[in-house]
Structure 1
């Protein structure tokens, strides 16, 4: 059987997975985006359906002052005695915390603070004892793996102990602890989160160690495969399927553009089969993981896998009472800036003068394909200095936007770019009509974004390179989001009504 990697495309790093019966559940990091920690469900580990987020309420997660690429890091999702547990870190706020749910698609609890330092927490329950294992260190690369017992009702954490220093003694993070046939296995990441990333394994007769490293460590890394179509593989989590087979979900990037290359879709979730040899995990037979995988079978009913939810189109006229689950905000939204108009569109009100300011009005979805088209139909009659439109955003300092604005008595469609300290208008085209509906579009390929306006005979306004929104340029941990925005310097901004949003793949 063939399946395609990544199994959860677009910005979905640090995947964590658990199984309940024949159903798998997966969560990933979310950084400064809200709601926090997206959740997916699958019967075959390939076709992932979106079921919601763990952190949906402001009292669960306050990202108001969070910088780009801070926020929520590296969750661990587990199920024990009928309850789902998720531990994670808000690195810019509350630190490590725990939330629970009876139904992962429903409401999750308010956070229980975990009085433990560090980040990338893991939860493992062995009999009556729960263990919190985490990366410890004030700054990378001087980190080690530490552990303490934890009370799941109160969050009280016991005395910590050092568990593992890694195989290189630096960048040791992302621990996950498991039991298999009476042996305890520790999986961690090393090498940083870029092209030196890797997964290493260790084992012990007791969950508290001491742990011995696998003689074939790392058990997964593409650091020695510069021509591989998947790079930066690491930060993995193991899961056993009902048929007894084992699998690893992990992050990787699809880098392009030659050497050294770049990636702008973010770190994505990949899947590989795992065999056990001499009591050690062997990932994909020891071969590099690819974007096209051949396996004997997948869990589930054996039917061809569907595309995962992030790879499916988003086509909406905003006629429901809530936004499509693909949409997320940059930090907690000011609810007064967003309103659904009884099936007549989504209205945005600008709360800042520029899109690059904290608190800017923006809502979008992850770019999950290199080749895709995104467009909006926008009803907007701006006052001078106001703007609304469609943007491709890596972070506040690395973004492109095409919007409708007004200055000197003229309404125009403009294309702006911001790359680090350089910001400029790269195209401007006057348009006729006041309060009309404007179609704005972004056509993406691996190497470029084309910005267009007009529905029937669209005008190409500008073409900009994807590489300047890449992690290798921006330094950001996320990927590009494509979404709607509005800006205004007025206390009573003109509403911008988006009548339609469409995101669809065009080439993959």
Structure 2
């Protein structure tokens, strides 16, 4: 090799090493996160030894469904465009829950990479079939060309099959296994063509299901509920159906009224799984719609329920509800609640589900409250601390539209988030690690080591309702200076609320905190005395009933190399 070639190669390698090291400097490392909730409702209502808090899953865990095998209970919830999808929890007593993973945790199962945050996975149903010792999770995936799908496993703790696409339209499918081994699928659908009577008019349809081939049987479909309990009253959005069998009869329970202020749960009965079904005379059996809007500790929108027999051989129902803040905004999203169910008569009724709901419940006999201990999911007021030292992410951390593993890297100094050339406003997978907002009053603090190279680079925190409604609070660069910037995006239009030049000599701590509808973003360069940037800002854009859609607020560790939040 000639001398000048050696010199050129040596120079190239030196340049490669130099630029490679420099490139690493603009990759943020998050060394800690502290989430702390401090809601008045829990401070004012301490638990007695025989009590637990309702909701059982705080924050965005909507549309719950529950299955039982022996002493094991499994609960799932909607996840929309979050990745992985369909969080799954396990319990032996309906009080203490451990998240054991997600049902849809592979790209082959979940194709939400190009869809809005409120699309994707809707209303999963989970059921155990004793005839083949198999669990089924059936759901609607509004993405990836899937539609209605089913996945299976014999052990929910060991992963699930790839999806089987089901050949029917509509949403909210649920599966029912009868004592004789036959199976059925029920779901929400549109009325027959030309028969729609009003906006929101929907029907419940049933099919026979071929368990051997995992498909509905063509030609068996039948409408079993038209509109709702009383079609003359123009009921809207009959949906989320489930069939139960008790004392030889078949009970069809559905949500009615839409996921909002008129939400409720209603029930029908038949002597045959295929109908005809007659509504109970005492419908609805669960709702919070009739009470003063300014009631204290308000729970609203209750519905979308599922029933199970508890460890005390009594019935319980899980369902969604909201707890709006003082301005009636829904930032924590739709949460998972539970109530005992009285089924001593012909029809079930949720105990105290037709009066204003209370924050505490009495535990089933013999159960000890262990929430927040060990791996049991916390509720009430709690502090969650994460230093990213375990090499396995806690299941509460989720990505958006793509796997977390595509952008995270564990290091000795903390969690590295390799930035995508995508910002939080784009409908693509983002390099963002999210934690749900679970309290009205909370703080979320992270420590970050980061030096952006250009104004295209930003890392920090995002508070997000969806791609068109969010806050970004992060570190970027303009000219040769480093800046902190706070950006508000509403209806897809962004505004810089504040920016400040800072001198980066080491790690920096960033914080977002809320007192009801009032949010504040602050920072410290020395670990002492947080300094606010941008004053108090409104949580309006983080509310479901302002931003639209079906999700709750997500607080994210965010990095991008496609930043457009440029300091002023």
Tell me the distance in 2 between the aligned counterparts of 1:445 and 1:420. Answer: 24
Tell me the distance in 1 between the aligned counterparts of 2:109 and 2:241. Answer: 24
For the Cα contact (< 8 Å) 2:398–2:404, is it kept in 1?
no
Indicate the residue corresponding to 1:43 in structure 2.
92
Q: Measured at CA, do residues 184 and 360 of structure 1 come closer, stay the same or move farther in structure 2, by a change above 3 Å?
A: same
User: How many Å apart are 1:208 and its aligned residue?
Assistant: 1.0
Indicate the residue corresponding to 1:236 in structure 2.
305
For the Cα contact (< 8 Å) 1:361–1:485, is it kept in 2?
yes
For the Cα contact (< 8 Å) 2:291–2:356, is it kept in 1?
no
Which of 112, 115, 138 is residue 66 of structure 1 equivalent to? 115
Secondary structure at the aligned position of 1:3 is classed as strand
Tell me the distance in 2 between the aligned counterparts of 1:457 and 1:285. Answer: 46
1:119-158 matches, cutoff 5 A: 119-126=171-178, 127-137=180-190, 141-158=200-217
Secondary structure at the aligned position of 2:552 is classed as coil
For the Cα contact (< 8 Å) 2:312–2:364, is it kept in 1?
no
**Any idea what the Cα deviations from partners look like across 1:283-334, whole Å, max 9, x if unmatched?**
1155425242344x416x3223525626454322222332221110111137
Q: Root-mean-square deviation (CA), in Å?
A: 1.9
Q: Measured at CA, do residues 419 and 61 of structure 1 come closer, stay the same or move farther in structure 2, by a change above 3 Å?
A: same
User: How many Å apart are 1:204 and its aligned residue?
Assistant: 0.9
Is 2:544 the counterpart of 1:471? yes
User: How many Å apart are 1:22 and its aligned residue?
Assistant: 2.1
Indicate the residue corresponding to 2:25 in structure 1.
none
For the Cα contact (< 8 Å) 1:310–1:326, is it kept in 2?
no
For the Cα contact (< 8 Å) 2:116–2:467, is it kept in 1?
no
Is 2:444 the counterpart of 1:374? yes
Tell me the distance in 2 between the aligned counterparts of 1:104 and 1:438. Answer: 41
Which of 502, 510, 516 is residue 446 of structure 1 equivalent to? 516
For the Cα contact (< 8 Å) 1:5–1:293, is it kept in 2?
yes
For the Cα contact (< 8 Å) 2:288–2:353, is it kept in 1?
no
**Any idea what the Cα deviations from partners look like across 1:78-101, whole Å, max 9, x if unmatched?**
112222111011023301111111
Secondary structure at the aligned position of 2:545 is classed as helix
For the Cα contact (< 8 Å) 2:467–2:492, is it kept in 1?
no
Tell me the distance in 2 between the aligned counterparts of 1:47 and 1:10. Answer: 17
Is 2:153 the counterpart of 1:101? yes
**Any idea what the Cα deviations from partners look like across 1:23-51, whole Å, max 9, x if unmatched?**
22100000010100000112232222111
Secondary structure at the aligned position of 1:59 is classed as coil
**By percentage of residues, which structure has more helix?**
2
Tell me the distance in 2 between the aligned counterparts of 1:401 and 1:43. Answer: 40
Q: Which runs of 5+ in 1 are unaligned?
A: 491-508
Indicate the residue corresponding to 2:486 in structure 1.
415
Is 2:525 the counterpart of 1:460? no
Q: Measured at CA, do residues 23 and 293 of structure 1 come closer, stay the same or move farther in structure 2, by a change above 3 Å?
A: same
For the Cα contact (< 8 Å) 1:416–1:424, is it kept in 2?
yes
Secondary structure at the aligned position of 2:444 is classed as strand
Indicate the residue corresponding to 2:56 in structure 1.
7
Tell me the distance in 2 between the aligned counterparts of 1:415 and 1:14. Answer: 33
1:231-310 matches, cutoff 5 A: 231-258=300-327, 261-285=328-352, 287-295=354-362, 297-298=363-364, 301-307=366-372, 309=377
Tell me the distance in 1 between the aligned counterparts of 2:518 and 2:93. Answer: 34
Q: Measured at CA, do residues 69 and 353 of structure 1 come closer, stay the same or move farther in structure 2, by a change above 3 Å?
A: closer
For the Cα contact (< 8 Å) 1:275–1:285, is it kept in 2?
no
Q: Measured at CA, do residues 305 and 489 of structure 1 come closer, stay the same or move farther in structure 2, by a change above 3 Å?
A: closer
**Any idea what the Cα deviations from partners look like across 1:135-191, whole Å, max 9, x if unmatched?**
112896131000111123422211211111211443111000000111111000111
Which of 169, 174, 178 is residue 240 of structure 2 equivalent to? 174
Indicate the residue corresponding to 1:75 in structure 2.
124
For the Cα contact (< 8 Å) 1:12–1:268, is it kept in 2?
yes
